[in-house]
Structure 1
Amino acid sequence: MRLGITMFATDRTMEPHALAREAEARGFSSLYVPEHTHVPVSRKTAPPTGAETLPEEYARTLDPFVALAAAAMVTERIRLGTGVLLPAQREPIVTAKAVATLDRLAGGRFTLGVGYGWNAEEGAGHGVPWKRRRAMAREHVLAMRALWTRDEASFKGEFVAFEASWSWPKPTGRVPVLLGGAPGPTLFAHIAEYGDGWMPIGGAGIREALPVLRRACEDAGRAMVPVVPFGTVPTRGKLGYYASLGIEEVVLRVPADGRDVVLPLLDDYASAYL
């Protein structure tokens, strides 16, 4: 089983390029960083952590493309990804170029993890119609895929429209798109349509969800996609359980902290599970 790492990279944590280099040296397979463009001070949306107040790292998150470009320059093998990017909150033409550029700089090592978002006030700052954010995210990814794969790309949808256009660079190959979120028919239909895998946070309900996801893929005429549990705090029993389900990669969580906290934990994870 391959093990990756995710950390809420901020201006107060260990630098993501240093974390990528140290994770690669210890044999981890991937590094993922999240995205929040901003966090409105006055919010009605409850924190997803269940805590009374939102942890400060949500408001201090680094830009994922800049952070991962730095990581790409000091590594050779480790995959680099977003966990997760919020495509509904991003202009897709500009984002498509950023993804393609990063993938080329990384030598084809980039994975695009995407999600729908949880913070309605953050989405409002980007003009996202909150109840339509899933449909908007879908269109943005489909529009980006068109720009990545066609010499003359055009797109016409509800939220995105552009005439036949040239846009280079192209990625080195197919950029894997992993969709995050709780299991359900809408998510699984989107994965089957345009995703390359499911990135569930934690492991609750995965066993029961796998047959449903498999049927959604079969209905779309494609093979079952990988499932990558994300943000896991590992135990040998938990990783063994994932392996018994046929899962081949798990992304482990490390705290949003400095080198003195993160590196010993990486050493512990590596010695115990790699």
Structure 2
Amino acid sequence: MRVGVVFPQTEIGPEPAAIRTYATGVQDLGYDHILAYEHVVGADPEHYHGWTGPYDIHTQFHEAMVLFGYLAAITSVELVNGILILPQRQTVLVAKQAAEVDILTGGKYRMGVGVGWNPVEYEALGQKFSLRGKRIEEQIELLRRLWTEPNVTHVGTFDRITAAGINPPPVQRPIPIWMGADSPPAFRRAGRMADGWFPQMRPGPDLAAAKRIVDDAAREAGRDPDRIGMEGRIQYGPHGSDAVADEAFEWERLGATHICINTMGAKLPNLDEHLAALRAVWEKIGRLTRTPA
């Protein structure tokens, strides 16, 4: 099982030196990958009365693909979107950006995608929130073509390309596409289309039910469920590294191929404390890791 970390971008600050210190510190500890959330814009809760979203205009987010270009130059860990809100972005531009990140990392890039939850952001980026489920399915198929075919013609509901392609192509052909999933339609989509999925729940009955949906959808699509990766996310909390280790071993028992340790939201006061927490966790769960083939 490969073990990564969630980049604590809402707390780490905008200084490049802090980003470098965190990323190289994570690599030096032995973690396999850095996963980054994404939002392009935040909503102003004073305008949107009753706003209940977890992030707003006051929450800092680095742009994920630009961030990855920087991280690729200073680390050799795998870089992972967790997730990129694909339907609010231009498909061909995403394909080009992803190919570039894959090249800069030497093929150590994994694209996690999802439909998101914020209609304010969709409006700002010129896309329709109500069509995001349908759009992502067309986008995934088109992305894989753009990464593997030098010349693409495509006429779809949402995108049109006439005899065009991206160059240079990515190292991985195609780049692995993983899906964030927190509802039955998303579970089924992951089973039908994705190389892996990010469950949005902890081990327990809800996860077992979700995995059954993913596996059943994979079989119905003629795919082998055992070839679909699963990455659990573990929140670092008040019980510290012991609780994280217990949950990590439970994810291992359930067959997770990856886990990711999230120190964001743990009320850690500074960058040093984030790294100290990850150091304590690594000392307990480092044996779970294996060297990628």
TM-score greater than 0.5 by the shorter chain: yes
The CA deviation at 1:91 is 0.8
> Residues 220-231 of structure 1 correspond to what in structure 2 (within 5 A)?
220-224=221-225, 225-230=228-233
Report the 3-state secondary structure (helix = DSSP H, G, I; strand = E; otherwise coil) of the residue aligned with 1:229: strand
Residue 254 of structure 1 corresponds to 263
1:47 maps to what in 2? 52
Q: Which runs of 5+ in 2 are unaligned?
A: 237-242, 287-293
Q: Once the 2 structures are TM-superposed, how far is the Cα of residue 249 of structure 1 from its aligned partner? A: 1.2
Contact 2:43-2:120 within 8 A present in 1 as well? yes
Match of 1:235 in 2: 244
Deviation at 1:54, TM superposition (A): 4.5
Deviates more, 1:117-126 or 1:201-210: 201-210
Give the partner amino acid of 1:229. G
Aligned length: 267
Q: Give 1:29 shift.
A: 1.1
**Structure 1 pair 18/66, CA: closer, same or farther in 2 (3 Å)?**
farther
Give the SS at the match of 1:227. strand
Q: Specify whether residues 141 and 18 from structure 1 end up closer, same or farther in structure 2 by C-alpha distance, changes over 3 A only.
A: farther
Counterpart of 1:214, as a letter, is D
Q: Output one character per residue of 1:44-64: Cα deviation in whole Å (capped at 9) or x when no partner.
A: 674344xxx85833xx21111
| Kept in 1: contact 2:5–2:35 (CA 8 A) | yes
Deviation per residue, 1:5-26 (Å, 9 max, x gap)? 0024257167444322211111
Query: Cα–Cα, structure 1 residues 8 and 235, in superposed 2: closer, same or farther, change >3 Å?
Result: closer
Matched-pair identity in %: 22
- Which residue of structure 1 lines up, in the alignment, with residue 61 of structure 2? 61
- State whether residues 87 and 136 of structure 2, in contact with CA within 8 Å, keep that contact through their aligned partners in structure 1: yes
For 1:17 and 1:116, how far apart are their aligned partners in 2?
30
What CA distance in whole angstroms lies between the structure 2 residues aligned with 1:187 and 1:147? 23
Alignment match, 1:219: 220
CA separation of 1:166/1:130 partners in 2, compared to 1, >3 Å: closer, same or farther?
Answer: closer
The 5-angstrom pairing of residues 182-201 of structure 1 reads 182-184=182-184, 186-201=185-200
Partner residue, 1:140? 139
Worse-matched range after superposition: 6-15 or 128-137: 6-15
Aligned partners of 2:234, 2:131: CA distance in 1, in Å?
Answer: 26
What SS is found at the alignment partner of 1:155? strand
The aligned residue for residue 131 of structure 1 is 130
TM-score, normalised via structure 2 length: 0.84
What amino acid does structure 2 have at the position aligned with 1:47?
A: T
Aligned residue for 1:172, secondary structure, equals coil
Q: Check whether the contact 1:180–1:199 (CA below 8 A) recurs between aligned residues.
A: yes
Matched, 1:180 2:192: no
* In 2: Cα distance, 1:132 partner to 1:45 partner: 24
Return closer, same or farther for 1:196/1:16 CA change in 2, 3 Å cut-off: farther
Q: TM-score, normalised by structure 1?
A: 0.89
Question: How has the CA–CA distance of structure 1 residues 23 and 202 changed in structure 2, closer, same or farther, with 3 Å as cutoff?
Answer: farther
Task: Please list every run of 5 or more consecutive structure 1 residues that lacks an aligned counterpart in the other structure.
Answer: none
> CA offset at residue 271 of structure 1?
1.5
1:266 aligns with 2:278: yes
* Superposed CA RMSD: 2.2
How far residue 88 of structure 1 moved from its aligned partner, in angstroms, is 1.0
After TM superposition, the structure 1 stretch with the greater mean CA deviation from structure 2, 63-72 or 195-204, is 195-204
